[in-house]
């Protein structure tokens, strides 16, 4: 399912129309968009509102999926160090980690939309 995504460049203000996928939340599409007027580029995380079928999007120049994955790796490393220290004292612990990271937004229609970024099993 796709239709034109219309946005105004935050640098030059030009209107841009791009044919992008419109996955139903909690699924999302992550892509880079480029202004046809000034060439400025940014990453967006896109989903759509299940009630009114508008695009719901997050501008993420820091790449939210990469950030979540990097944080997941950091946490697994730190948790493993904790588990290893406990093992030296003959203690067994386990830590349950989530499978996804939810990001919320409110659509102009008033509905709450949540996308879920998958957190890989890194241990």
Contact 22, 31 (CB under 8 A): no
CB–CB of 33/6 below 8 Å?
A: no
pLDDT digits (tens, 9 = 90+) for 12-53: 999 999 998 889 888 999 888 999 999 998 888 899 898 888
Is the CB of residue 38 less than 8 Å from the CB of residue 9? Answer: yes
0.75 surpassed by pTM? no
pLDDT for res 13:
93
Residues 74-120: tens digit of each pLDDT:
777 777 787 788 888 887 776 666 778 888 999 989 999 999 887 76
Q: Which residues contact 76 (CB under 8 A, 6 or more apart)?
A: 97, 122, 123
Residue 28 gets the label, from left (phi > 0), alpha (psi -120 to 50) or beta, of: beta
């Amino acid at each position: 399912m796709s239709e034109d995504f219309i946005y105004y460049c935050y640098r030059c203000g030009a209107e841009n129309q791009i044919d992008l996928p419109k996955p139903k939340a909690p699924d999302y599409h992550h892509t880079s968009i480029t202004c046809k007027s000034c060439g400025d580029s940014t990453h967006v995380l896109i989903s759509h509102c299940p009630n009114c079928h508008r695009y719901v999007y997050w501008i993420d120049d820091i790449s939210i999926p990469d950030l979540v994955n990097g944080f997941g790796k950091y946490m697994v490393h730190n948790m493993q160090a904790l588990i290893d220290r406990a093992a030296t004292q003959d203690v067994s612990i386990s830590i349950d980690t989530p499978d996804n990271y939810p990001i919320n937004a409110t659509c102009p229609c008033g509905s709450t939309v949540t996308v879920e970024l998958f957190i890989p099993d890194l241990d």
